Amino acid sequence: MISAVEVVDVRFPTSASLDGSDAMNPDPDYSAAYVVLRDDDGSEGHGFTFTIGRGNDVCCAAIEALSALVIGTDAADLGEFHRRLTHDSQIRWLGPEKGVVHLAAAALVNAAWDLAARRAGLPVWKFLSAMSPERIVDCVDWRYLSDALTPGEALELLRAAEPGKAERIAELERDGYPAYTTSPGWLGYSDEKVVRLAKRAVAEGYGQIKLKVGADLADDRRRFAAARAAVGPDVRIAVDANQRWDVDRAVEWMSALAEFDPWWIEEPTSPDDILGHAAIRRRIAPIKVATGEHCHNRVMFKQLLQAEAVDFLQLDAARVAGVNENLAILLLAKRFDVPVCPHAGGVGLCELVGHLSMFDYTSVSASLEDRVIEYVDHLHEHFTEPTVIENGRYRAPRAPGFSAEMRRESLRHYTYPNGPEWSRKR
Amino acid sequence: MISAVEVVDVRFPTSASLDGSDAMNPDPDYSAAYVVLRDDDGSEGHGFTFTIGRGNDVCCAAIEALSALVIGTDAADLGEFHRRLTHDSQIRWLGPEKGVVHLAAAALVNAAWDLAARRAGLPVWKFLSAMSPERIVDCVDWRYLSDALTPGEALELLRAAEPGKAERIAELERDGYPAYTTSPGWLGYSDEKVVRLAKRAVAEGYGQIKLKVGADLADDRRRFAAARAAVGPDVRIAVDANQRWDVDRAVEWMSALAEFDPWWIEEPTSPDDILGHAAIRRRIAPIKVATGEHCHNRVMFKQLLQAEAVDFLQLDAARVAGVNENLAILLLAKRFDVPVCPHAGGVGLCELVGHLSMFDYTSVSASLEDRVIEYVDHLHEHFTEPTVIENGRYRAPRAPGFSAEMRRESLRHYTYPNGPEWSRKR
């Protein structure tokens, strides 16, 4: 039984270095609304949601509000735990299923999965891979999905992926999962730094990198040309506009970048604009469209797929309501045959999404074709089980749980506003 | 210059009487995250966002977080004030433009309009009606709208509505604006109460009422039949499912209610499901579809219109970011020729939306055809300038401001959790 929920407002002063700078987010302070679920049997589960600074306290307040729904209950039924957090009729009004209350639900739901997987002695990706199709389907909130996918159809998809699962698990443990890196491409970086980091990425084994675009077209063309020259024609270079454009602008801008062979354009416009993404995709083909890091729930992902608005679906581990909602999203992506390439970076998102993509491979899509997980080399040192990249691939996590636990000393040092890092700045 | 922002968590114990009960919200405690902007010249502006209880404190925390962006600034430029609250790059991450941070922005933006209109000595609807088309257009955040409506096209729409404006203002001051009432139809009411209140509504001059549906089909058929028999064939009866159904279910359920001649079905499914609403609308025609009270921003409204998903657009005064975003929504509705029939009820929403619909008539749509404002007769006694209904119509507000000010004694008595109303319950 959950006896206590600890909530910590953790912020890292990343705005000082322009790491993480893009066309819409010039000065992020990467932050986490961090939570520890404590069970009265002594076990614990760690989770968090990611923000970029101001307002992280509002997410903490929402986690506190939601905690009242789970303290005194059992977290062992992971479907019920998720429903309890997303179906409270009064709190639901604040979304429904979006924004701060949904970010807060993500932190708590992911903590419950961490707790359950630790108890089972398995990393979350193997814990999920060991669950029966029936149990997976029972963890999903099916409301609003039946026009695209029914529970029965989902069961069929999962059963069809059972053959070869053991081999895929062994393959992941041996070879890991393909990654791409955004580290060379932050908007605040000089051309020289972009070129140097792009070359290093290729030398390290990455087959894909990503550049931020959207602030100034001449700058984008110059940097893209330099990066393309540095890595050659065979490395995929994706670009990311972070929601900067209207529909026509996106088409014009991407037409002006087409000669450098972009692999995908990510977040060309508002994350809410399903029809806008679909229009852009039709008009800029064969350049591909990717989105999802700000897509707030399964109903929006369903429509992106129904409208044929995306070539790649970029789920986020902590914007939708945690593992349960991401199970729905993985199943929808499989139903529409769209590869999932998760959003990561930030604080701890790499640590989480590795588990989701590996489960996708073992048990849902059963494919690695055109699938890559984003990797950004920031802030991993604060985690007890940090993501490890080898030859441009995510190493499969081996420790029990969700790799979500932050070091106690990091939590203490970066607590906002009273930890040593922040109190000395005042 | 704004020198202080006062925030009050106000909650009314409405769950005790089942007023406001529907298929998704069985026990709401109607609440407001209430805000007073104080200018150092001594003037003040009142605003709020509406919630149904738990989590109202989270909205208050978000208002506190946003207040830091406006304290020390001038609220006189209403376009700039709105942009400052919705464009902060770090806080934007928590939406963007949705959920708790957007509800909080609504409270502050509406308070700034209250302040500006008080200074001008005008009710908000006349303050807006007196603004030039250029100034109206300057108040709108045009990002993400240009594939549906450009600022230049909006200017043309506004200029085309200038002729006859003075006559329409005089007409509103004389006759008011048509209303419909939801008071007879709450799900927790007995058949006898529904019939009695429906008859009373017709006697009071309403030409349209609304019933809640979606929990039990046999109950819905029985209540609808009783209400139809009570009011006769000429009174419009709308029904409201409050997001209860998936797409196929909505079609089946409405087919089973069709014989009672529903005027519209409101919120048949997830408020995020644009394509779902469009599919339902195609399949249940000629029954009409209405939605919008949970539609979280102008990008979603744009798509509901582009997808031909709605016959009636139900904007909410305090879910999108206040007056500015509702100006965009009114202009989009005009562009697509869809009547706006605002959502109201709750706490103070009737007080606010009267101003928006009246401005729509004087300066945007210039039409009353098929346009009605929702009215619910709860909690008006707590406002200093409560909505007045005469012959089934909203009387045009005459007092300067946005009719948003709650009585001090009400604020004090219903403050949560330490006001007398709540502390005596513990």
| pLDDT score of A21 | 74
pLDDT band of A186, cuts 50, 70, 90:
confident
Q: Do A271 and B296 touch (CB under 8 A)?
A: no
ipTM of the predicted structure?
0.97
* Interchain contact A248–B (C-beta under 8 A): yes
Residue B417: asked if its preceding bond is cis (omega within 30°), the reply is yes
> Considering chain A, what is the average pLDDT of its residues?
96
The per-residue pLDDT for range B231-268, each reduced to its tens digit, is 999 999 999 999 999 999 999 999 999 999 999 999 99
Which residues in chain A have their CB less than 8 angstroms from residue B88's CB? 54
Nearest CA to B367 out of B86, B67, B165, B181 is that of B165
Q: Do A147 and B271 touch (CB under 8 A)?
A: no
Shortest alpha-carbon distance between residue B101 and chain A (Å)? 7
Which residues in chain B have their CB less than 8 angstroms from residue A246's CB? 143-147
Q: Do B89 and A28 touch (CB under 8 A)?
A: yes
Q: Do A91 and B54 touch (CB under 8 A)?
A: yes
* Interchain contact B309–A (C-beta under 8 A): no
pLDDT of B360 over the 90 cut = yes
Query: What number of C-beta contacts closer than 8 Å exist between A and B?
Result: 191
Q: Do A100 and B94 touch (CB under 8 A)?
A: yes
Q: Do B271 and A96 touch (CB under 8 A)?
A: yes
Which helix (H) or strand (E) covers residue B181, if one does?
strand B177-185
Shortest alpha-carbon distance between residue B230 and chain A (Å)? 32
| pLDDT score of A424 | 80
| pLDDT score of A393 | 98
pLDDT band of A27, cuts 50, 70, 90:
confident
The per-residue pLDDT for range B315-343, each reduced to its tens digit, is 999 999 999 999 999 999 999 999 999 99
Which residue ranges make up each domain of chain A? 165-409
Lowest mean pLDDT among A77-81, A213-217, B26-30, B150-154: B26-30
How crowded is residue B146: how many other Cβ atoms within 10 Å of its Cβ? 16
Task: Choose the mutation target among A49, A145, A147 for the interface with B, i.e. most B CBs under 10 Å.
Answer: A147
Return left, alpha or beta for A235; rule: phi > 0 is left, psi -120 to 50 is alpha, else beta.
Answer: beta
pLDDT band of A414, cuts 50, 70, 90:
very high
Task: Choose the mutation target among A52, A85, A93, A150 for the interface with B, i.e. most B CBs under 10 Å.
Answer: A93
The answer to whether the pTM exceeds 0.95 is: yes
* Interchain contact B164–A (C-beta under 8 A): no
pLDDT of A420 over the 80 cut = yes
The per-residue pLDDT for range B120-142, each reduced to its tens digit, is 999 999 999 999 999 999 999 99
Residues within 8 A of A (CB atoms), B 272-301 only = 272-276, 279, 294, 296-297, 299-300
pLDDT of A307 over the 90 cut = yes
Which residues in chain A have their CB less than 8 angstroms from residue B99's CB? 94-95, 98-102, 296
Determine the 3-state secondary structure of B150 from DSSP. Answer: coil
| Distance, CA of B195 to CA of B185 (rounded, Å) | 9
Q: Do A303 and B103 touch (CB under 8 A)?
A: no
* Interchain contact B152–A (C-beta under 8 A): no
* Interchain contact A417–B (C-beta under 8 A): no
pLDDT of B426 over the 70 cut = no
At B422, which amino acid appears?
Answer: W
Catalytic residue (one of B98, B212, B277, B302):
B212
Q: Which residue of A has its CA nearest to B147?
A: A247
- Using a pLDDT cut of 70, give the percent of chain A over it: 99
Q: Do A55 and B101 touch (CB under 8 A)?
A: yes
Nearest CB among A28, A143, A307 relative to B246 is that of A143
pLDDT band of B21, cuts 50, 70, 90:
confident
Which residues in chain B have their CB less than 8 angstroms from residue A88's CB? 54
Shortest alpha-carbon distance between residue A232 and chain B (Å)? 35
Q: What is the mean pLDDT of residues A394-404?
A: 98
pLDDT of A23 over the 90 cut = no
* Interchain contact A303–B (C-beta under 8 A): yes
* Interchain contact A356–B (C-beta under 8 A): no
* Interchain contact A152–B (C-beta under 8 A): no
In three state form, how does the secondary structure of chain A look? CEEEEEEEEEECCHHHCCCCCCCCCCCCCCEEEEEEEEECCCCEEEEEEEECCCCHHHHHHHHHHHHHHHCCCCCCCHHHHHHHHHCCHHHHCCCCCCHHHHHHHHHHHHHHHHHHHHHHCCEHHHHHHCCCHHHHHHCCCCCCCCCCCCHHHHHHHHHHCCCCHHHHHHHHHHHCEEEEEEEEECCCCCHHHHHHHHHHHHHCCCCEEEEECCCCHHHHHHHHHHHHHHHCCCCEEEEECCCCCCHHHHHHHHHHHHHHCEEEEECCCCCCCHHHHHHHHHHHCCCEEEECCCCCCHHHHHHHHHCCCCCEECCCCCCCCHHHHHHHHHHHHHHHCCCECCCCCCCCHHHHHHHHHHHHHHHHCCCCCCCCEEECCCCHHHECCCCCEECCEECCCCCCECCCCECHHHHHHHECCCCHHHHCCC
Residues within 8 A of A (CB atoms), B 56-115 only = 57-59, 61-62, 65, 68, 88-103
Task: Choose the mutation target among B60, B275, B304 for the interface with A, i.e. most A CBs under 10 Å.
Answer: B275
| pLDDT score of A426 | 63
Q: Which residue of A has its CA nearest to B307?
A: A275
CB–CB of B208/B236 below 8 Å? Answer: yes
Which residues in chain B have their CB less than 8 angstroms from residue A303's CB? 272-276
Looking at domain A165-409, its CATH architecture is Alpha-Beta Barrel (3.20)
Nearest CB among A29, A147, A300 relative to B247 is that of A147
- Give the catalytic positions of A in this structure: 212, 343
The per-residue pLDDT for range A338-378, each reduced to its tens digit, is 999 999 999 999 999 999 999 999 999 999 999 999 999 99
The per-residue pLDDT for range B259-273, each reduced to its tens digit, is 999 999 999 999 999
Shortest alpha-carbon distance between residue A186 and chain B (Å)? 16
Catalytic residue (one of B343, B355, B378, B382):
B343
Which residues in chain A have their CB less than 8 angstroms from residue B329's CB? none
Task: Choose the mutation target among B29, B98, B248, B293 for the interface with A, i.e. most A CBs under 10 Å.
Answer: B98
Q: Do A98 and B96 touch (CB under 8 A)?
A: no
